[in-house]
Each structure stands twice: as structure tokens, then as C-alpha cells.
Amino acid sequence: MKCIHIGVQKISIDEVWDVGFGKKVKIEPDIIKKVKENRKKIEKKIKKGEVYYGINTGVGRLADKILSEEELDEFQIDLVKSHSAGWGEPLKKETVRMAMFLRLYMLSKGYSGVRPEVLLKLEEFLNKDIVPYVPSIGSVGASGDLIPLSHIALALIGEGKVFHEGRILPTYIALKTTKTEPLKLKFKEALALFNGTQVSLAMLIYIYKKLEKLLKLYDIASLFSFVAIDGNPGIFDEKLIRLRNSKFEIKIAKFYRGVLKGYK
């Protein structure tokens, strides 16, 4: 099974789907280099004493509070735990894998200011098939899928639960059996992990792909009726269909002609 490479090229819906169902991923070295360079720029600004919201300050009501270097690391853990407040049945494992891959892809752009270690940990979890247990209820989506993405971040730091080898396990046990170290978050990284819309997008892709298969079955089923009433395949003639100038009708008619090949 070939890896899906995260590099300069855009990813496709089919690639996201494949990762959801187990395909491994590989981050290109140039991406790691770019992410590292952008992280250094932020680190320099912080060392100069510059103040940035959510980087070296609190959030929400604590936006005016400047945090010390010692407080910043602890604050990342507090942020992740406080937002991991979902409940209900878990999201499908495939959906969570897709969300992890989508978040990894977004972080690979380098704009979030995280260390390469964050990307590499997501890559490792995907490739070892350690999939966070993400409750399906609880996120309002106000500034992203804060709650479900926090549950993913929670697993990355060794907390919460995960799916692994067909079982639901405490994360620390799955990490121990797979010889995986938990991620140690540094400033800015909690927000970067959970302030996005990748869970919503993963759910949309899952529904889209399932609907795509359903519509294909519907098209085939409709042709049984067509054949039963001795339908005239001439109505699907390419020249005739192109007169309507609809790319969708052209595509469907082509599919019908393929299925009806040999029918008179």
C-alpha cells in the first residue's frame, strides 16, 4: 500500500477517503523544513517580549493575561482538557482518521506556527492506526470544531481513549503497546490543533462518498426499469445530450451508455 505524500500538491477527496480507511501518510522533508522555519519566527518574537493573543496570553476572559514561559506549557494542557467536553456515541473511526489527516494537511501549510513534532505525531498516530475516541455530540462550531478536535489533541498528549486493533483502550495503554511517545505541547499548539473545521469536513466527505455510491446504485436500478419497458437507448446519444450543454447530463448519459452496451 503506497503512502499518500503531504507536500506541495493539493490533496483530493479520494485521498482523504483512502486515509480514512487505513492508507498511510508521509510528510515530505520540504514541508518539515518550512514548518520549522515559521516556528522559529514566532519563537524569536516571543523571546523579544512581544505579546500575541493565544500564543503567550490567555484566551477569552483571560486575553489580557500574559503568561510566563512556565505557564505556557501547562496552559496548553488545560486548554485541551477543558475543551474535551463531548459526549454521546463516538464518531466513526474512519471519520476521525479523515479529520486527523485534514488537520495534518492544514498544519503542513506552515501558517499555524506549530513545531514539526505536532505534524509528525499526527503522522505517527495515523500510520500506527491509533485513532482517538471522539464523542459525536457537543461542538457548536462557533470558531471551529473545538470539542471534537480537542478530543483528538487529547489522545495525542496521551490522555483520553483511542481505538486500536479493534478495541477501545485508554490512550496510555495503546501508546505503551505501540512504543509511541505522547506529544508534549508547546505554546500556540493547543489552539492550532483544535481551532479548525476538519471534523465537519471529514463528516461531509464521508456522507458525500456514501451518497456517491448510493446514487450510482440508483442509476443502475433505474436502467432495469428502462430495459423492462423496452426503452430506446437513442435518447442517451452523445450528440443529442450535448445540445443541452449540461456537464452533469453528459456524464450521466455516458455512464448509461456504458451500462447499456450491447442492449438493443
Cα torsion angle, 186, 190, 191, 196, sign: positive
d(Cα 112, Cα 95) in Å, to the nearest integer? 23
Cα 45 off chain centre by: 30
Residues 5 and 26: their CA atoms lie apart, in Å, by: 5
Q: In 3D, which of 194, 214, 166 has the Cα closest to residue 22? A: 166
For residues 230 and 124, the answer to whether their CB atoms sit within 8 Å is: no
Which residues pair with residue 131 across a beta bridge? 163
Number of H helices, E strands in the chain: 11, 7
The end-to-end CA distance of the chain, in Å, is: 42
Read off the DSSP letter of residue 66: B
**Nearest-angstrom CA–CA distance, 253 and 230:** 17
Enumerate the active-site residues.
Answer: 53
Please state the φ and ψ torsions of residue 131, each to the nearest 5 degrees.
Answer: -115, 115
Q: Which of 131, 124, 52, 45 is nearest to 95 (CA)?
A: 131
Q: In sequence order, what are the beta bridge partners of 153?
A: none
**Residue for cell digits 513534532?**
117
